Amino acid sequence: MNLSRVDLNLFVVFEAIYTLGSITAAGRKLNLSQPAVSHALARLRTLFDDPLFERSSRGMEPTPLARALILDVRNALERMEGTLHRTVHFDPSTTRRRFTVAMGDPFDSLLLPLLMERIGPVAPGIEVATLYSDRRRVEPALLEGSLDLAVDLLLPMPPAINLKPILSEPMIVMARRGHPDVRGKIDLDTYLGQEHIQVSSRRRGLSAEDMALRRCGLTRHVRLRCEHYGAACRIVSRTNMLMTMPFSFASMANESVQNQLLPVPFPVPHLELFLYWNISSDSDAACRWLREQILLTMAEVQGHSAQSTESTESAETTSS
């Protein structure tokens, strides 16, 4: 059976007859004439090769096949009605909705506290569930609807997935307070002479700073590769190893350890983050609203980052 050739309104008629037990009552509920309902029932009988309903003293009695169909039909109609309601009638103060968003460390630590602070008071029924998703799974998950949104680096995506830049973040060098070779400033020779921590979810491969060094014909000694910035910041505070990371992530993770944050002594590109979503959700008012809240939140992060970066660079200039 080809679904594109089936009039889905027939199932609305089916559900009304099943619920009310009467063709006449179903017509009144649906604002249809009795002949129109009878014609729809005739088409359903042809479609399923079954009478579906039989007349009795109690009205139109469903056949065993109709009883087997009704739960799936009602579920499908309820989901469609819910989708239409969310699309046309979205009120954040009353809507109950759960969104699934893919993002990894430390994006969730950077975004979620400010996002939930923003939406909590105005949207008490909105729930957000975050998860780490392998980058190879982001595209199919967005297309199939198991993910509503994703936050990640620039990824190749098909036309069915939209993306928008949400953060452009400068990189900094982190060193412990009291580091014998790094005291308020760092030059390239000192940087290259130290051992480094590289944070990555991948097992191997170059980071942005390593690729920037390669372009200059230089390399550094990566002593430790780990997955989490929080752990790396604590390691920096207990060793003489350095770490190069995005400024906002460093500021957030550094609150408890108070390491030095210094400008990178060579040209390295900013970290660029993007928000991804299925283009079909552009008609979903609730999804549009959540995307707007994320964009506003990241704009706030970007503003704080710009101010703090200026202060760091000013301190570096003064100490020089």
The set of residues, in sequence order, having a beta carbon less than 8 Å from that of 101 and lying 6+ positions away, is 128, 129, 130, 131, 147, 148, 149, 150, 151
How far apart, in whole angstroms, are the C-alpha atoms of residue 255 and residue 237? Answer: 12
What CATH number labels 171-269?
A: 3.40.190.10
- Minimal CA–CA distance to 128: which of 149, 153, 156? 149
- Looking at per-residue confidence, does 311 or 28 come out higher? 28
Amino acid 274: pLDDT: 94
* Structural tokens at position 309: 């970066």
Q: How many CA atoms lie within 13 A of 63 on its CB side?
A: 11
Amino acid 317: pLDDT: 46
Query: Is the pLDDT at 242 greater than 60, yes or no?
Result: yes
Query: Is the pLDDT at 204 greater than 80, yes or no?
Result: yes
Q: H helices then E strands: how many in the chain?
A: 11, 12
Where is average pLDDT lowest: 148-157, 179-188, 217-226, 252-261? 252-261
The set of residues, in sequence order, having a beta carbon less than 8 Å from that of 298 and lying 6+ positions away, is 111, 166, 167, 273
CB atoms within 10 A of CB 212: 18
How far apart, in whole angstroms, are the C-alpha atoms of residue 74 and residue 244? Answer: 55
DSSP per-residue letters across 182-243:
-SS---HHHHHTSEEEEE-SSSS---HHHHHHHHTT---EEEEEES-HHHHHHHHHHSS-EE
Query: Is the pLDDT at 5 greater than 80, yes or no?
Result: no
Name the CATH topology of 97-163+275-297: D-Maltodextrin-Binding Protein; domain 2 (3.40.190)
Amino acid 318: pLDDT: 45
Amino acid 320: pLDDT: 46
Label residue 227 by pLDDT band (50, 70, 90). Answer: confident
Amino acid 269: pLDDT: 92
CA angle, corner 252, sides to 248 and 257, nearest 5? 130
Query: Is the pLDDT at 249 greater than 70, yes or no?
Result: yes
Amino acid 305: pLDDT: 59
Q: Cα-Cα-Cα-Cα dihedral of 28, 32, 33, 39, to 10°?
A: -120
171-269 shares the fold of 3-88: no
* Residue 271 three-state SS: strand
Per-residue pLDDT tens for 158-177? 988 999 999 998 999 999 99
Amino acid 251: pLDDT: 87
Per-residue pLDDT tens for 297-317? 998 887 765 665 555 555 444
Amino acid 106: pLDDT: 77
Does this model's pTM top 0.75? no
Label residue 248 by pLDDT band (50, 70, 90). Answer: confident
Q: How many CA atoms lie within 13 A of 237 on its CB side?
A: 14
Amino acid 243: pLDDT: 96
Per-residue pLDDT tens for 98-137? 999 999 777 888 899 999 999 999 999 999 999 987 888 8
Per-residue pLDDT tens for 49-95? 999 999 988 889 999 999 999 999 988 887 777 666 555 567 899 88
Amino acid 217: pLDDT: 95
Query: Is the pLDDT at 275 greater than 60, yes or no?
Result: yes
Is omega for the bond preceding 106 within 30 degrees of 0, making it cis? yes
Amino acid 88: pLDDT: 58
Sequence ranges of the domains in the chain:
3-88, 97-163+275-297, 171-269
Q: Is 3-88 CATH 1.10.10.10?
A: yes
CB 191 within 8 A of CB 265: yes
Average pLDDT, the chain: 87
